[in-house]
Structure 1
């Protein structure tokens, strides 16, 4: 009987650690689709965020003039992504160039090198792809 309980617990913990691994696969640095910024995705209290850590030409990200270079660097542009069954969902993505927030959901390619962000606002939907650095 002890062996059965031990076996069940071992299987349970191995499955939960396996699921935890998939959950954090999104963490790391990514090159955006326009190849002019690096975004670092990180986890905080079970929720995922992404901040700008490098910008090639800050003026390319901020046509509105509302944000300076310093304001963009370190800024969270991805907020509140929650992992659920292979997707990170219910988040928002800030688009500095348009000074607008859109709804965001993310998925990874099988090789974990391409992050696809599905963004939407009202009836508009688009997908963008970021590359892992």
Structure 2
């Protein structure tokens, strides 16, 4: 009886810590990633049932000419060209398909100001393949992202 009473807090703690862990691996993509160009870190997070990403670090956060924070100068929408790149949402509406694949998302490329269809494949816990494409996945480009520790 005394052993059971002593173990009860540990059992409750274990249940509490594991109750919110995803058992299907859907949250394995959550974290901060160094993008394929090595110019920025993207934080991928879950909101509701979908996954999003925002730019949280830039290798060159300030414009070389003005010294001011870099902005979204290449955006096709002129009203968005003055928004700062840092903390800007770049990825949205990804859903987990199973088998380490997240699809049906969109990715914005601030280097050309365009948005692309996108899917992500978690190759291993520290390597993420991010494929942006137009139309079908066949017409696109894949970048290898690495997890930031």
Match of 1:4 in 2: none
- The structure with the greater share of residues assigned to helix is 1
Return the alpha-carbon distance in structure 1 between the equivalents of residues 109 and 133 of structure 2: 12
Return the alpha-carbon distance in structure 2 between the equivalents of residues 113 and 40 of structure 1: 14
Match of 2:40 in 1: 37
Q: Give 1 or 2 for the bigger CA radius of gyration.
A: 2
Number of residue pairs matched by the alignment: 115
**8 Å CA contact 2:117, 2:135 repeated in 1:** no
Structural RMSD (CA):
2.4
- The structure with the greater share of residues assigned to strand is 1
Match of 2:147 in 1: 132
Deviation, 1:17, is 4.7
Deviation, 1:122, is 3.3
Residue 18 of structure 1 aligns to a residue whose secondary structure is: coil
**8 Å CA contact 2:126, 2:147 repeated in 1:** yes
Measured at CA, do residues 71 and 109 of structure 1 come closer, stay the same or move farther in structure 2, by a change above 3 Å? same
Question: 95, 115, 125: which is aligned to 1:101?
Answer: 115
- Stretches of structure 1 lacking an aligned partner (at least 5 in a row): 1-13
Alignment of 1:64 with 2:74, yes or no, is: yes
Return the alpha-carbon distance in structure 2 between the equivalents of residues 122 and 81 of structure 1: 16
Moved over 3 A (4+): 58-63, 65-68
- Stretches of structure 2 lacking an aligned partner (at least 5 in a row): 1-18, 64-69
1:1-133 alignment, distance < 5 Å: 17-19=22-24, 22-58=25-61, 64=74, 67-68=81-82, 71-86=84-99, 87-110=101-124, 112-122=125-135, 124-133=139-148
User: What is the TM-score when the length of structure 1 is the normalising length?
Assistant: 0.76
